[in-house]
Amino acid sequence: NAGVTQTPKFQVLKTGQSMTLQCAQDMNHNSMYWYRQDPGMGLRLIYYSASEGTTDKGEVPNGYNVSRLNKREFSLRLESAAPSQTSVYFCASRGQLNQPQHFGDGTRLSIL
């Protein structure tokens, strides 16, 4: 009963390094999302994918890229990490619009 799985759970990077956050869902959902959660800012959408092969920008896309590799997987890449990207990153997925959105456990990312 995995649901949405995110890896890694924790990561520390140096400024300028790159990394990819992985997300996979096993619920056959079409839509997938990447959010970041920051104190006092709530959850903000970075990118989303309405279906396999499509991706769109959310509210805060700068500094990030995404890939919808297949229906199951949606990855988030930081090409050149900056301290402002220190955050908790959540991946989510959903079937139809009238169905609940399911979240992964998050990736806690610190950039020094």
Residues comprising the chain, all counted: 112
Within 1-30, the residues that bind other proteins by CB under 8 A are: none
Rounded to whole angstroms, the Cα distance separating 18 from 82 reads: 10
Site mask for other proteins (CB under 8 A), range 30-49, x = bound: -x-x--------xx-x--x-
Instruction: Please say which residue, 14 or 97, places its beta carbon nearer to other proteins.
Output: 97
Nearer to other proteins, 7 or 18 (CB): 7
Spatial CB neighbours of 39, under 8 Å, sequence gap ≥ 6: none
Helix, strand or coil, per DSSP, at residue 2: coil
Could you say which residues in the range 56-85 bind other proteins, by CB under 8 A?
56, 58
Contact call for residue 89 and other proteins (CB under 8 A): no
Which of 24, 36, 94, 111 is in the footprint of other proteins by CB under 8 A? Answer: 94
Q: Report the C-alpha gap between 20 and 18 in whole angstroms.
A: 7
